[in-house]
Amino acid sequence: MEQALDIAKNNLPVKGFLDLKDIQIPQGQDLIDAILKLKKEKNAVILAHYYQPGEIQDIADYLGDSLQLARAAKDTDADMIAFCGVHFMAEAAKILNPTKKVVLPDTLAGCSLADGCSGEGLRKMREQHPGALVATYINCNAETKAESDIIVTSSNAETIINALPKDQPIIFAPDKNLGRYLMKKTGRDMILWDGSCIVHEAFSMERIAKQLAENPDAKLIAHPESETPVLELAHFIGSTSALLNYVEKDDCQKFIIATEEGILHEMKKRAPHKELIPALVFDESCNCSECFFMKRNTLEKLYLCMKYELPEITMDEELRLKALKPIEAMLELSKTIK
Ligand code: 13P
Ligand code: SF4
């Protein structure tokens, strides 16, 4: 209980809003039942990313990657969106569906890519390259989106970069690893922002090569946020949903997975008889590849955020409209992508 109160204290940003000693957080099945009851009472929808803790994935109404979740947020007619993912994802939901109340279990669920690329920084980069188009990965905050011409996600980035006018230079932000991968795939020379994902850049090419040597019947699959040496070893590179589909449909029975470990929860459900091995990271004392930010969300925090409708994502309308434009441009160009 003490731990739950701590969670509540850290998570409810409005001082004096509640007497925290009075907060009772149900446990176990009661907690799940209480969340489902709140969902009904408040006409809420729970959206969750594949990197969320398994117990959150299990009670979500909709489970998806960034593109799928953005679409689900845009299309929902629920009154409240409880967004179980990281902050930029919940913010994108608010940008796309501003009349809904969007709550996030933990406002500190950030992202190293989003945190490393400010709107002002991107504006300065743009000024240094007049005439360049700015294509920005959805892993960024609203101010950064507002400085962009088009947003991409890992599942539509290649299609979108290929669709941009060939005679215009492209600035790609903030993920240099995804940017390098796209340059190789599309043949477009892009000006890259120097950002990276702390989870995907932690994979060790040497240790993964050893894993492959020890498992000659396994295929290595990787998210394009991984560094080039890891991608060069991979049998398949794809977005979160592409990796899930690949494991489900490919004939191979054993996979080494170079992406955030939360994905294994859904992979095991879709391919229960296949062997799934998390790829190894540099730090030998930690064989995990978990996103610390994604894992800030817990069922307790989800319960609290739905009950007290806090922390809520709010946004200045002028900023929202500026950030909406490049997201809409993305949705228009990725209609054929599931
Ligand atoms: P997806 O676009 O594949 O969902 O990836 C989101 C993300 O944060 C990857 O690290
Ligand atoms: Fe951001 Fe990386 Fe976590 Fe995805 S896995 S949310 S890119 S820090």
Residue 196 Cα to ligand 2 midpoint, Å, equals 9
How far apart are the C-alpha atoms of 100 and 309, rounded to whole Å? 12
Structure-block tokens of residue 122: 């991107």
Q: State which ligand 2 atom lies nearest to the alpha carbon of 112.
A: 8
Residue 208 marked as a ligand binder: no
CATH class of 113-196: alpha beta
User: Which residue would you say has higher pLDDT here, 4 or 216?
Assistant: 216
CATH class of 200-278: alpha beta
Instruction: Give the tens place of pLDDT for each residue, 156-215.
Output: 999 999 999 999 999 999 999 999 999 999 999 999 999 999 999 999 999 999 999 999
Residue 49 marked as a ligand binder: yes
Closest ligand relative to 292 C-alpha: 2
Q: Which residue's CA is minimally distant from atom 8 of ligand 1?
A: 139
Q: Which residue's CA is minimally distant from atom 1 of ligand 2?
A: 111
Q: Which residue's CA is minimally distant from atom 2 of ligand 2?
A: 197
| DSSP E strands, the chain | 44-49, 62-64, 80-84, 101-103, 133-137, 150-152, 170-173, 190-192, 219-222, 236-237, 254-258, 275-278
Question: Do the domains at 113-196 and 200-278 have one common CATH topology?
Answer: yes
Residue 41 marked as a ligand binder: no
CB-based burial, 251-290: b 16+ in 10 Å, e otherwise: eeeebbbbbbbbbbbbbeeebeeeebebbbbeeeeeeebb
| DSSP E strands, 174-302 | 190-192, 219-222, 236-237, 254-258, 275-278
Coil/strand/helix, residue 277: strand
Instruction: Give the tens place of pLDDT for each residue, 271-327.
Output: 999 999 999 999 988 878 999 999 999 999 999 999 999 999 999 999 999 999 999
Ligand 2 binding pocket mutation candidate from 89, 104, 260 (most atoms within 8 A of CB): 260
Task: Lowest mean pLDDT of 93-102, 248-257, 287-296, name the range.
Answer: 287-296
Q: Which residue's CA is minimally distant from atom 6 of ligand 2?
A: 111
Ligand 2 binding pocket mutation candidate from 50, 117, 196, 197 (most atoms within 8 A of CB): 197
Report CA-CA distances (Å) from 198 to 108, 177, 184, 244: 16, 11, 22, 21
How far apart are the C-alpha atoms of 59 and 251, rounded to whole Å? 30
Task: Lowest mean pLDDT of 83-92, 247-256, 257-266, 279-288, name the range.
Answer: 279-288
Position 14 pLDDT exceeds 60: no
Ligand 2 binding pocket mutation candidate from 293, 295, 296 (most atoms within 8 A of CB): 293
Residue 225 marked as a ligand binder: yes
Which one-letter DSSP state was computed for residue 130? T
Residue 240 marked as a ligand binder: yes
**Is any ligand 1 atom within 6 A of the Cβ of residue 66?**
yes
Ligand 1 binding pocket mutation candidate from 66, 140, 245 (most atoms within 8 A of CB): 66
Sorting pLDDT into bands at 50, 70 and 90, what band is 21?
A: low
Contacts of residue 198, Cβ cutoff 8 Å, sequence gap at least 6: 112
How far apart are the C-alpha atoms of 56 and 305, rounded to whole Å? 14
Mean pLDDT of 88-96: 98
Which one-letter DSSP state was computed for residue 262? T
Q: Are 111 and 124 in contact (CB under 8 A)?
A: no
How far apart are the C-alpha atoms of 202 and 300, rounded to whole Å? 29
Instruction: Give the tens place of pLDDT for each residue, 48-76.
Output: 999 999 999 999 999 999 999 999 999 99
Domain residues of the chain, as ranges?
Answer: 2-109+294-315, 113-196, 200-278
**Is any ligand 1 atom within 6 A of the Cβ of residue 240?**
yes
How far apart are the C-alpha atoms of 186 and 159, rounded to whole Å? 9
CB-based burial, 9-36: b 16+ in 10 Å, e otherwise: eebbeeeeebeeeebebbeeeebbebbe
Which one-letter DSSP state was computed for residue 237? E
Q: Which residue's CA is minimally distant from atom 8 of ligand 2?
A: 111
Residue 273 marked as a ligand binder: no
Position 16 pLDDT exceeds 50: no
Mean pLDDT in the chain?
Answer: 94
CATH number of the structural domain 2-109+294-315: 3.40.50.10800
CB under 6 Å to ligand 2: residues?
Answer: 86, 111-113, 139, 197-199, 225, 260, 291, 293-294
